A and B are shown apart, each in its own frame.
Chain A
Amino acid sequence: METKDKQNYSMTKAILTDIQFWIPVGILIAGIFILIFVSM
């Protein structure tokens, strides 16, 4: 059962569907925009 479960596992999918991943990504993007704005 566990082997079958592991076979179906996609690391990319697990990361992309993890809400905890999108919080730092969103804040990183916001940070890049702020950096561009303040350096203008």
Chain B
Amino acid sequence: MDLSNKRKATLKQLSFLGVMCGLAAGVWLGAQSATGELVFLNISPFVMTAATVIGVFVARWSLPTMIKGTTYVFTDIGKSKHLIVWGVLAGALWGIASTLTFFAIKDVGLVVAVPIWNSNSIIGLIWGIVLFNELRGAKKKQLTKAIGGVFIMVIAMIILSIATTTTGATTGMAIHGLLAALGAGLLYGTMYIPYRKAYLSGMNPLSFVTIFTVGEIITVVVIGILFLGGSTFGNAIITAGPVLFWVFLGGAIWVVGDLFQQFACKYIGIGRGIPLANTNQLWSTAWAALVFMTMRGFGVGTITAIISGVVVMVIGAALLASAQPETEERKFWNKAILRECKRYKLDKKYTLDAVDGKDPLGDKIKGLRWWDYLILVVAVGIFAVLACFAVIPPLPMNPFWLMMGIASLVVSLVWVGWLLKKYTGFS
């Protein structure tokens, strides 16, 4: 195989990997939404968001620490210090967007709010094209499949949102609710600018997630204290004790989903990666319908709409999965990479190697240190303590579908984790 063909084969592998990561992100992020069903106490949105983010933060130091270790992560961050600002910014965007979604639901209901903020994949696509040369140089066929796929995914999300949610009691403050939903969509979609920036600079997703979680935690704690007051906020978190384990568990599942999402952004870009990760709606619908049986008593019309939404989403995902970036488009990506190298004085070879899934840093820093094991023990210990106080919610569950749901998580984790290790060594 000559050099050019070998390179083409490598790029094809990376694109395939990116698609698999996007789909695995959908499986995990969908399961995270489902854990909301386990929170049976009435908790303030600010407290719920903050507790989830604290869970995310703790979980980030569990399994992911074992993949690369802290020495690797902090050396990687030190190589692109400017990305600390970007990571914290991305976390802040997530924190504000997440809080806005609660206001949107309160004021106009899920049916109106969810489809509006789900437009974030279109925002991500626009930023990908305008700022990072995504889809430039792509053949007409690829372009049609990618853009068509994104729009089909958004239509599917709207169908599923309308079919699976009820408006419930709203405050009727339509302008407030619409603004909150629009704001959430814009912020979520813009959050992917820092993601893409990090991966065009050669940073490892494990390192970027570390900074991101710091940005998240600062933002939600500040918002919680400002809106509820320090003591009320602290007391509310303590009162939530019996359900904190479930919220933290949701955070842990979110971390895995987000890591897959970040690897997808790295290897296929935000324009394709984000909509593929948005297949999470399909999985959260499956958890709600099959495991928690929340759709019992739904009419034929609703069930038909749900099935149509699922079919449309699968078509959209298939289109996106088949629209993988080719050599010509990659040349435009390289221009975006060189821009970062020039502006932030990055080592070109190191950056290009890292973007290509090689692990130049991993060759120098290997293995885990004793403190990595200590961090793992503390993180797992926090989960164990919370589990002791956890109360199992009085919720009917279908044991067969529960096992199937858990199996989908394990299979996607093992399969895509193995692919990541084989092709990139988690780079």
A residues whose Cβ falls under 8 Å from a Cβ of B:
5-6, 9, 11, 14-15, 18, 20-21, 23-25, 27-28, 30-32, 34-35, 37-39
Contacts and interface: CB of A to CB of B under 8 A. Distances in A.
B176 A35 contact: no
Given A23-B193, A37-B176, A38-B179, A31 B97 contact: yes
A27 B187 contact: yes
Given A34-B100, A38-B176, A38-B180, A24 B93 contact: yes
A30 B183 contact: yes
24 contacts: A5-B345, A11-B81, A14-B82, A14-B343, A14-B344, A15-B85, A20-B193, A24-B90, A24-B190, A24-B191, A27-B93, A27-B186, A27-B190, A28-B93, A30-B186, A31-B100, A31-B183, A34-B179, A34-B180, A35-B96, A35-B100, A35-B183, A38-B173, A38-B180
A34 B193 CA distance: 21
Contacts of B270: none
A28 B345 contact: no
Interface of B: 81-82, 85-86, 89-90, 92-93, 96-97, 99-100, 103, 107, 127, 131, 173, 176-177, 179-180, 183, 186-187, 190-191, 193-194, 197, 223, 227, 343-345
B93 A31 contact: yes
- Closest 10 A-B residue pairs measured CB to CB? A34-B183, A31-B96, A38-B176, A38-B103, A27-B190, A38-B180, A31-B187, A9-B345, A24-B190, A24-B193
A9 B90 CA distance: 24
Nearest to B131: A20
Contacts of A28: 89, 92-93, 96, 187, 190
A32 B179 contact: no
